[in-house]
Each structure stands twice: as structure tokens, then as C-alpha cells.
Amino acid sequence: MGAEPAILIGTEIYRIKSNGEIIDIEVTSNIEYDIIIPEDVDWIVKADMQTRNEMITANYKYEIKPNDDKERRSIISIKGKNDNINRSIEVIQDKFEVDLDKETSKDVRISVLSAKVENNEFQPGAGIERTIDGDYNTSFHTRWSGSTVFPVVFSYHFKEGVAQDIDYALLYGTTSYNGKIKEMNVYVKEFGSNEVQFGKTLDLKGEGGNQFIDLGLKNVEYVKFEVLSGTGTENGYVAFREIEFFKEDPDKTEDYAIFTDSSCSELKRDVKAEDIDKISSSLLRSIAKELYNKTYDSRYRVAQYKAIPSPDIIAENLKIGNGFSHYEGITGMFLRAGKAAVLVGDTKGEKIYLRLPNLMRKPIDDNENDWSLHNKKIQLREGINIVDVEYDANAYLEYFVDSDTGKETDITVHFPVGEVNGYFDFAKHNNKDWNDLLDNAVSPIMDMKGKYIHVAYPVEYFKKFTFGKGVELINNYDKMLHSHYKFMGLEKYNRLPNNRIFSRVNFHYYMFRDGDGVAYLGNESTMNMVASPSVVIKGDPCWGFSHEVGHVLQMRPQLNWGGLGEVSNNLFSLYTTTGLGNISRLKEGNTYKTARNEIFGKDKSYLHSEDVFIRLVPFWQLHLFFSENGKPDFYADVMEEMRNRPHSGTGNEAIRNQFEFMKIACEVGKLDLTDFFDKWGFFYVGKIEIGDYGTYKYNITQQEVDYVKEYIKNLGFEKPKQDITLVEDK
């Protein structure tokens, strides 16, 4: 150490966990000194007397108290008494981390004495007693063979002679195709009263999985369920694994009392610090302290979510396929595997779900054929929800309704746990914001929200192909979708959906469409096609996106009878790609001439061609002709007529929709198109067997052909002045 005055310290920075600990400060000095802790710091205290080694080295123990707030820092100063020598030790204590294992529900589970099913409606070995055995791997199931006799009625009886108060039930439903409960009535028998129906018929929508059933019952002797319908083949089935009944935690209301609602995202005005200290939940106490100190960053963590029509309702109303997003409620939150907490405000009785898609799932091996988007769907209740997260995932909320009245309440949802990833919103952000999102991303996936599109691709490819160009990319996707919607009349007839098409990454196949939207392979070449703004609207990338989204928007079965599965979607592809300046694939491939040579004068239907582009020609020619003759909205008007009329058949009867199409085309175009349809074989008489995601066997009779021709004739329209079969792209 030498003769010069000196103070040496062993450790200059201590990083302490939130639960606190004892630190050992080693000081070596040849002079007298003081150890000084700031007067306003009460969380660092001397633990015991120091020990010295020949007055040279001393060890001082200090207790760092537990931290139940944000990260905190302080300096411990070592100052020489008579010499101007100062040394500093920095103490940093981590912010409070909630132990979610201690935040599990304190709701009281009600014991069930027995369960009964009526009319022996169960599969032997899969009786109703399985639903109260505590084993979530066994299940009740109605008879496998023959048709289920509905209603299926079963009841749960509680401790004899002891009345129970029941707030809700948790039904652990099946996730298999067969047995998901659709509609169900609930009956209750209170002690001293007769059995009565509770509320209206419940519609569980055949969703399966875990579902809450709100009850709010008092003095209960037993509860009876009358299932009216279920999913599956034949008549449907009923299956579920377990059912549990609960009374809510009586202390829950006290913990929520200082907040404006059960999302616990805002304090009431008159809250004092001592009120916060009384909260029993460490999670809520931590949130309240930060809100009180105005240090809580609620951006992305707290948001209001609006109800939108479900993808099923959109498909039903527009008579199209599925593919609109189930992940419309983008939260910007990233949840890592483990436990997470979600706080939900007043739902006004509406159902809201947390969705966790496994967007980064890789195939197990080269032989895996499962391309689907695996996801976990969890129903949320008002207040605290502790959820098990099986894999790292971006979080989304599903808040769907069966109609779009605009009267549904917004629901506040709060993610106090998890990491903020953020998302790009075309209505709020610019390219600088986009770059900041990519630079600060904690998830491997970034979400982009356009007017009509929701994109979720890997951050690494966004950085490579889209950095500084987020606005341009989302605008180009919206251009393509707007073109599709315009073509089918959604804009003209005020039918634009509130939901978006979901375009995501996958790691299984190059490009496909499924019930969750469209998916692209997560490699460099494919991502360049879909994440580069200048590339996505040209050539194959533009065609590919237009083609896959065209599958979502095909009218079923009115313009998608067997044989048009890979045809009518390409009407959208041609309209959008050519509208963006790309050459028509029919023109590029000389398909018009090839089609005429194959079909004309051969007593063939266009459906006899194995080439889907040849089948496409007559449909596209109608668009070209009417666009050139003052009716650019021809297909918009045709599809609106189809939306307002019932379809004419499915399966082997789907060909009847072809005849309805011809009638509507003449009515909308105000022309007699008989000669045009005749040349392309629309009036072919005989049998046609065609494979198109299934086998269709059509039997077209002379009688129905004559009927359609007579119908068109009676419309009294003149024939076109040119041969539409010769019309081609310019």
C-alpha cells in the first residue's frame, strides 16, 4: 500500500435482487475514514460490527432490504477523515418481480358429491363420473356408434344438506373435432325450491377448450346441464374432460377497491400510500405503487380493445371462405414461457380470449405434414388471470361478436407482466418509428397493422428487406387488398370488413392459405418476396399473395363450384396484378388461343380442360368486355347479387351454381350472353367428373340447359355486338 494515504475497496458495484440480501464491503486503508449512506436512503442498513485485520483491512456487512417497487440505486461513500480521499460504491437493486406462483387464484373450489347422466347417453367406460375425478386426461363422451340423442342431460350434486354459493364453473372441453358443445341450457335446484332454468340458452359456439360459465347462484343443491347440440359427424357428439365449480375469492374486491376498475390500470383519485400497503396481492401492490408515483409505463401494457365481427360471421355474411384474422387484437406484448398475468376490466358479459400463436414453430422432421398454426387460446375473466405460457409468443386478444352493432363495450386489458415488443400501426407510425421498433424488438416476430392487412414476419428479415420502408410495405399490401375488395364489390356496397387478413411466417411450406390466413416460408428468398416493398407488388410475389388471398375471398359455392377451386381465386389475381402494372398471365402464356383451340367445336365444357388457366379464360373475358363497355363493376355487381340470393347446390349439385351465374351475368350485363356461354361449353349436356379438392360427379340434363336458355331469352336483352370469346388483354 505504501506510505501515501490510500483507501482501497474490494467491489465498486453491487447488483442486488429485489428480495434483498446481505452485502460484505471490504475496505483496505492506512488512514481513518467514515462510511456514509445518504440520509434519504432507508433500504441500506448496517447489519453488524465490522472486522479489522491489523487496522488495514476491514469488512462491513450491510443489509439491503427487499424492494417492492421499481429499480433503485444509491452510493455508499468512503471518505478519509483528515485526507481528501473519497471512494464510492454503487448499489443497484433490481425492480420488484412478482412471484406469480403466489398469485394463483384464491377462488374457492366447491366439492362435487356426485354426477349423473340421463338416458344412459354415454360411451361405456367414458361416463359422466370422469368429469369429477380430477384427472384431466380422461373424459366423458356420448356413444361413439349411432347418432347422439339430443338433448344430452347431466347434473352435478353437492354435499348433501349443505347449500352452496357458486359464482362460476370452468368446463374443460375437448379440442378434438367431435364433441365440442354448441348450445346448452343450465338448470338449478336451490334448497327449498323447484328446479328452474338459469338464464337464456348458452351458445358455446362449438369452440371447445377451457370455457368459463358464469352462474352467480346461491343456496344450490344441484346444477343440471342440457346440451342441445355438439360438433362432429352424424348428429354431433358431446365430450369434455372435467368440470369445476367455484366461489370467488371474497378478498378480491378489497384488492381492487383502490383501482377504477378490475383492469387495475388506474388509481382512484383519493388513494393514499397507506391504502396501497394494505393490498394483499403483491402484483397489484406493485402496480399501485408505480401508478401512485407516476412511474408506470402503460404504453402497450394497457389498451382498450373493440369488438369486431368474428371471421365466421364475416364468411357467412359475404359467403366466402375463412382466413380473416383470429389475431386482430394485436397487443405488442411478448410473453416468455412460464407464467404470465393478464388483468381484464369490465366485460359487460362479453367473452374475451388471449391467443398465443406459436409463429416460430419448426417442423419436427422433413416428413411432418402439419402446416397449421399451433396456438393456445385462453378465456379471460374480469380481474387477475394467471396463465401458463408453454412457449415464447407474441400475445393477441380475441374479442369477437356475432354482429357489428357498434354497441358493444370496449374492454380494457392490462399486461403487467411480459416484455413490450410493440407493433407498427399504419395510422400512427412513420418509418423512423418502424426502425425504432425493429431495433428494440424483444420478440423474433414483429407485427404490422395496415388498413386491411395484419403482417407478422421475422424481425431479422424485416431488418434486411424492410428497414426504413415499413410505410411502403404496409401501403403496398393494403393496395393489393383494396383492389380485391373493389373487384368483389365490398367497397361499392359498403361491405368492407372490420377484420383484417392475416399474413404470417411459417417454417413448413413455401406458400399457402388456411383458416388463419396466408403463410410464407421463413427463409431468405421467400421473405425477400413478401417483405421488400418493391418486390411484393411485382411478378410472382404479387401473383402469389393475390392468389392466396383470392382463395379466402372466393364466393362459396356460388362462384366456386367444383372445378373452380383454382380458377375463381385467380380472377382476383388477374385484376390486382394487372392493375398494378404487371402483364396478364393469360396474355403472357398465349392462353386465349390455346383455350379456343381446345374447347371450341369439340363438344366439350371448359371444365373438361385440365389446365385451370384455360378454365379461367371465359370468366376473365367477361370482365375485360364489360370494363371496355362502361361496366367496370361487372363482377362487383354479380357478386352482390350472389350475396343476396341463396346458393343453388353443393357437392354433386354444385354445378347448378354455374347456371345461376349465367342468369346473373346476363341480368347484370343487360345482354343475352347465350352464344358466349355456348362456345365455352357452359351448356354442355352429359356427365362430368372432376377432381378439385374432392371428386365432383355432375349430371347435366338437356332440360335444365333449355330452362336456362329460355330464362335468358325471356329477359329480352339484345346480344353483344362483338364476339366476346375473342376479347383479350391489351
Q: What pLDDT, on the 0 to 100 scale, is given for residue 129?
A: 96
Name the pLDDT band for 1 (thresholds 50, 70, 90).
low
Give me the chain's average pLDDT, please. 93
Q: What is the mean predicted confidence (pLDDT) over 69-93? A: 86
**pLDDT value of position 280:** 85
Average pLDDT over residues 480-487: 98
Q: Is the pLDDT of residue 31 over 90?
A: no
Which of 588, 493, 504, 583 shows the shortest CA–CA distance to 542? 583
Mean pLDDT of 214-221: 91
- Percent helix, percent strand, percent coil in the chain, to nearest 5: 25, 30, 45
If one compares 182 and 98, the residue with the highest pLDDT of the two is 182
For residue 61, pLDDT beyond 70: yes
Please, what are the domains in the chain?
7-97 (2.60.40.10), 103-250 (2.60.120.260), 253-292 (no CATH), 302-548 (2.60.120.1250), 594-723 (no CATH)
| Long-range residue pairs from 690-696, CB within 8 A, at least 24 positions apart, any chain | 690/562, 690/563, 690/607, 692/562, 692/563, 692/564, 692/565, 692/566, 693/565, 694/562, 696/561, 696/562, 696/563, 696/651, 696/652, 696/654, 696/655
Residue 546 — very low, low, confident or very high, per pLDDT cuts 50/70/90?
very high
Q: Identify which of 427, 207, 402 has the alpha carbon closest to the alpha carbon of residue 330.
A: 427
Per-residue pLDDT averaged across 697-715, rounded?
97
For 584, left (φ over 0), alpha (ψ -120 to 50), or beta? Answer: beta
User: Band of the pLDDT at 177, cuts 50, 70, 90?
Assistant: confident
pLDDT more than 70, % of the chain? 98
pLDDT in tens, 359-370: 999 998 878 888
13: left (phi over 0), alpha (psi -120 to 50) or beta: beta
Is the pLDDT assigned to residue 196 strictly greater than 60?
Answer: yes
What is the Cα–Cα distance from 36 to 88, expressed in whole angstroms? 10
CA dihedral (524, 529, 533, 538) in degrees, to 10, reads 160
485: helix, strand or coil = helix
Question: What per-residue confidence (pLDDT) applies to 188?
Answer: 96
pLDDT, position 52:
54
Number of H helices, E strands in the chain: 18, 37
pLDDT digits (tens, 9 = 90+) for 233-277: 878 999 999 999 999 887 777 889 999 999 999 999 999 999 999
3-state secondary structure of 665: helix
For residue 259, the 8-state DSSP code is B
Read off the pLDDT of residues 4-13 as tens digits, 9 standing for 90 and up.
888 889 889 9
**Which tops the pLDDT comparison, 300 or 30?**
300
DSSP string, 173-196: E--SSTT-B-EEEEEEEETTS--E
Residue 385: pLDDT band with limits 50, 70, 90:
very high
pLDDT of residue 51: 53
- Least confident window among 98-112, 263-277, 424-438: 98-112
What pLDDT, on the 0 to 100 scale, is given for residue 104?
64
106 pLDDT band (50/70/90 cuts)? Answer: confident
- Most confident range (mean pLDDT) of 50-54, 57-61, 352-356 is 352-356
pLDDT in tens, 672-694: 999 999 999 999 999 999 999 99
Lowest model confidence (mean pLDDT) among 363-377, 401-415, 643-657:
401-415
The per-residue pLDDT for 2 is 60
Distance in angstroms (rounded) separating the CA atoms of residues 367 and 373: 17
- The pLDDT assigned to 207 comes to 85
CA dist 703 → 558, 683, 684, 699, 714 (Å): 21, 11, 12, 11, 16
499 contacts: CB under 8 Å, gap ≥ 6: 308, 309, 311, 314, 324, 325, 328
Q: How confident is the model at residue 95 (pLDDT cuts 50, 70, 90)?
A: confident
451-457 average pLDDT score: 98
pLDDT digits (tens, 9 = 90+) for 462-477: 999 999 999 999 999 9
Q: Is the pLDDT of residue 412 over 70?
A: yes
Separation between Cα atoms, residue 231 and residue 208, nearest integer Å: 9
Cβ atoms of 457 and 505 within 8 Å: the answer is yes
Query: What pLDDT shows up at residue 30?
Result: 86
Average pLDDT over residues 587-611: 97
User: How many Å apart are CA 339 and CA 388, to the nearest integer?
Assistant: 5
> Average of pLDDT values for 433-454?
98
Q: What percent of the chain has pLDDT over 90?
A: 75
pLDDT computed for residue 549 by the predictor: 96
In this prediction, residue 66 carries a pLDDT of 79
Are 256 and 275 in contact by the 8 Å Cβ rule? The answer is no
The pTM for the full model equals: 0.85
Average pLDDT over residues 20-28: 88
User: Is pLDDT at 50 greater than 70 in this prediction?
Assistant: no
